[in-house]
Copies of this chain bind each other. A is one copy, B any other.
């Protein structure tokens, strides 16, 4: 059986000679890296555990893709350019077919986003993948939203202002439906929801395009409700969410029906669209900036001052049946961050 070093060499080492800032790649005690002049680093780590974050029987290439996509999504949500990744892979056994597929899925996505695998660790244990990603962004961005605070990046969670629009990229919810489909036995990889689950697209280019137009942002990994609540808390504002304006993909409606589709957008996970706030006057520029990416942007609500004791996400349901609201949204995150009004 090949040892750790051989496995790493066989499946994970790539030519890094063209990778920006890589002074020394894998193989020593540390990788040596240098950020560009005037750049700061955005750094994030995420663990994917078999049976918790993905089905253990999912295709290996999808597991490799997803594990990296989750992390790239954090860079996207900061408006950072992907640079370097470290992969800590814990394997119950050495299954070369599985490793081949995993590495193929990982590297295909890594190459597409220009992120270099500069180090890692392969250990024995229950299947689990922890990836640390590093992205770069300018130390000082020209801040069109907050000219009084030019030195901070824009896609933090705490930058939303009263009156800002709440917008979301693409059509979330399909990955949630895809996971349900997988769990109920669907293996048709042409199923659009299943494809959305197995190979989510981190919105890296969208994050870069919008970082100077949005006032706050994050990636939607746990559904719009919970993630919008993070922006509310960090920005000390409430948000009025217009249920009738949620983008519902036809494929999602076909899979789950209208009410299920709305539930998936609000509380489903695994999608990794970007949820942003921005001043209304930036909307047109933002939509135009996403056009070359073939990515839509939907206005789904508005930030407003806190009334009462704490920031909340308030569901506005004009044109949506009361009954739907009454039945569907019982799994909202912390009660103190959510309130249903009409």
User: Measured between C-beta atoms, what is the minimum distance from A8 to chain B in Å?
Assistant: 12
Q: Are B44 and A31 in contact (CB under 8 A)?
A: yes
Tell whether, in the assembled complex, residue B28 and residue A32 are in contact, meaning their CB atoms are under 8 Å apart: no
User: Which stretch, A125-133, A168-176, A185-193, A322-330, touches the partner chain B?
Assistant: A125-133
Residue contact B123 to A49, C-beta cutoff 8 Å: yes
**Which B residues are in CB contact (< 8 Å) with A135?**
30
Residue in contact with A125 in the complex, picked from B39, B44, B126, CB distance below 8 Å? B126
Q: How many copies does the complex hold?
A: 2
Main secondary structure on chain A at its contact with chain B?
strand
Does any Cβ of B come within 8 Å of A58's Cβ? no
A126 CB contacts on chain B under 8 angstroms: 49, 125-126, 128
List B contacts of A49 (CB < 8 A): 90, 123-126
Given contacts A33-B43, A44-B30, A77-B29, contact A24 B84 (CB under 8 A): no
Q: Which residues of B contact A50 (CB under 8 A)?
A: 125
Q: Which residues of A contact B (CB under 8 A)?
A: 23-24, 27-35, 39-47, 49-53, 74-75, 77-78, 80, 84, 86-88, 90, 118-121, 123-126, 128, 130, 132, 134-135, 139, 153, 155-158, 218-219, 234
The 3 closest A-B pairs by CB, nearest first: A49-B125, A30-B42, A29-B77
Known pairs A32-B43, A47-B88, A49-B125; list 17 more (Cβ under 8 Å): A27-B234, A28-B78, A28-B157, A29-B155, A29-B157, A31-B42, A31-B44, A32-B41, A32-B42, A33-B40, A33-B41, A34-B39, A43-B119, A52-B124, A52-B125, A128-B128, A130-B130
